[in-house]
Structure 1
């Protein structure tokens, strides 16, 4: 119902939010926060009521252009799940989010968690970095070749001379 009312001038989302809050309608509260563009609050309310699926749903709501906010929301969910110490849930969140890498979630991991559970994600991350390094090296080689060619052209241009007759 709430999603269908988006853009409806007759719906007062703040009033609806207050009513839902008074009646303890958590799902409706989260959806209303999302409707109002208050995605951080939506995720917080969902996490406070231990509804991880609803928090994930809310974390996906910001537009693709706002990657930083989406990443922040997913990190908040990871932080919440890291308190449970379940490494499998955290690795699942990394895969599901498509916004996070192992590097992003490491600060939320406790010292007692083992890295073995992250082995495949770490390998994927390293492979990704290796691919980026190879691409950068190729670009550097291309630029180096272009620079060499440019220097040769410049040297040839300097060696050219044109004789102009005094009567011209």
Structure 2
């Protein structure tokens, strides 16, 4: 690196300390065909943008449920470094805000532990139906801080009970 200073120029030698303080693009060079230099599509790389603010201390994880059963998704947020109480929003798909959908099949809960200063946010799906499957998102915000986490729900069909053929009882053997 060559820099000019009054009265001449100075050559600077880059040290490992300088490299550590300068952010670099470690994801690779993006190509125009939607892949990166390592050959994987951009969508197969982890989304690290969600970790920039780091409000979550526990993120909701993807889950599976059988039709008619219940499932609960949990997120936890520490308020030690927050000036204001965090607010949480749960979404299905890209835009459907689930706050207005709470009721018989969807319960949203919030608890606060004063000792650990941790808020626990829960979304409980009661009596899952096949159309509940899909992508979900949890967003947490507090003043100028924001964090988001994506997760999925897979709903399996109810296990078929062994059908009883009444004709078999009357067949002659």
TM-score, structure 1 normalization: 0.27
Q: Which has the higher helix share?
A: 1
More strand by share: 2
Higher relative contact order (CA 8 A, sep 6+): 2
The structure number with the bigger radius of gyration is 1
